[in-house]
Structure 1
């Protein structure tokens, strides 16, 4: 099991060092899977009540849980062939509350190789606080704003991913003849709020794209999509889904840049998530399976 050491935890940022062996984070290539990396970054904060997880716990007690509205992940392709047996990472978190408190905040993260300091993953996620009873957005608690006040306008950014997400990211129109793939949400796909876990939507889309590729519906991609390194994924969370819901994944390959594939997931014709994935064309050459 990984050993997690907290190196820093204050209003400016949180940094941990993670060492150990990969366990249950691989896919059919035998290496890291894209859908598990975000879980890994969040999961290692579940030690010693460091900042990100303790906020979730306190918000839950105060009946104001947080929900993801949008997440951007940008991958260094090296991470998909990184350290088959052992790893040693620095994971740095930075919380940025909205202006004047607001109802949302941005959680930035960066994963670095400890020895080379090579950036392997950049993550930015916008989270919104809501009232559990009314299901409406509420202002960030005062204690939260005090804890994560911006210490300086010149605070060094962890990455150059968007830090505001002010732009509304609306999905395009998907033509009726676009490739479609259906799946059913399992109970094992749920998070502790009994909604479909955020990472599962990425997994669904990669499965759907694999189906399209193997059936010759995509240009340039003609095999199991997990063998093509995912360069980035931008996810907008629109609605919710639950166990036993049947979801429809609509796939649209960009006509200008065919390494970009757009996916709209619907639940009973209602949009649930919209994903924009950018894939590398050079496949991973070796599988340990």
Structure 2
């Protein structure tokens, strides 16, 4: 990954060179599904893309945040509470081996204890925006895990007057009986530097579990999660999962939008993370 600051210093621009090993299995039917040419060499999996966003966000901390606050010694850390990614149909045509993904990362809404990173995603093959993402970060005390305020200098310098706080979805209001469920165990490779399960890992758990559900023909619309292109992903943190935890992934179709799958990850009776994934599907099946 190569990074640079925009001329006005408000954006970190990260460039990822894509190689064949970044891509999963091929999808020759993709052009029929979403009306654009497909990439025979496969596609970047959504959880891999989330890791790219994470690396860009980490690289942006120093120039976009610490530049205004300086070093902090107040026993604080920050975690991702909510993350949303949307892929345009042309994402799947533009992103191919030996091209590059270009992510412009910048701060949006800055509140008292949370802030939002926004991302505009482009490809080296086109200057069009092919994806967008937003990530809510919450600042907390390392010991108590309770929210604490960002430094005054950050709020004063970066809060934008008149900018509304983005709406974050709450816990699922309706949770029907799961259409399918399976268990996973948090492994050593699933945790991040804070010893917590990474959000990209939760998405992988969900999509792997959904692939098993597809083979059992439990969904009415989504018939191939391995190859069906993803339109939108939303991931909401609820509790922490640590190495060795046994988790249950429950899933069902959204009652008003069958091409959207809902996932609840649980540890026993505790809700850990909820995920929604909306797919591009064939019009004939809508």
Which bin holds the TM-score, normalised by the shorter protein? Answer: 0.7 to 0.9
**Is this contact kept in 2: 1:19–1:86, CA < 8 A?**
no
Deviations 1:138-176 (A, max 9, x none): 0111232244243x658xxxxxxxx62445512134344
- Counterpart Cα distance in 1 of 2:13 and 2:242: 33
Check if 1:106 corresponds to 2:126: no
Partners in 2 of 1:229 and 1:131 — Cα distance? Answer: 39
- Once the two structures are TM-superposed, the CA of residue 95 in structure 1 deviates from its matched residue by 1.1
Please list, as runs of the form range in 1=range in 2, the aligned pairs for 1:1-289 lying within 5 A after superposition. 2-8=1-7, 10=9, 13-16=10-13, 18=15, 20-22=17-19, 25-29=22-26, 30-44=42-56, 50-51=62-63, 61-99=73-111, 102-114=112-124, 116-150=126-160, 153=162, 164-176=165-177, 178-223=179-224, 225-282=225-282
User: Is the Cα–Cα contact under 8 Å of residues 182 and 249 in structure 2 kept in the other structure?
Assistant: yes
* Secondary structure of residue in 2 paired with 1:164: coil
| Distance of aligned partners of 1:49 and 1:98 in 2 relative to their CA distance in 1, 3 Å threshold | closer
User: Displacement, 1:78?
Assistant: 3.2
Task: Give the superposition deviation at 1:125.
Answer: 1.1
Gaps of at least 5 residues in structure 2 are: 27-41
Q: Secondary structure at the match of 1:217?
A: coil
Deviates more, 1:141-150 or 1:195-204: 141-150
How far has the Cα of 1:113 moved from its partner? Answer: 2.5
Corresponding pairs, count: 267
Secondary structure at 2:117's aligned position in 1? strand
| Higher share in helix | 2
Normalised to the residue count of structure 2, the TM-score between the two structures is: 0.82
1:52 is displaced (CA, Å) by 5.1
**Gaps (5+ residues) in structure 1?**
155-162, 284-289
Aligned counterpart, 1:160: none
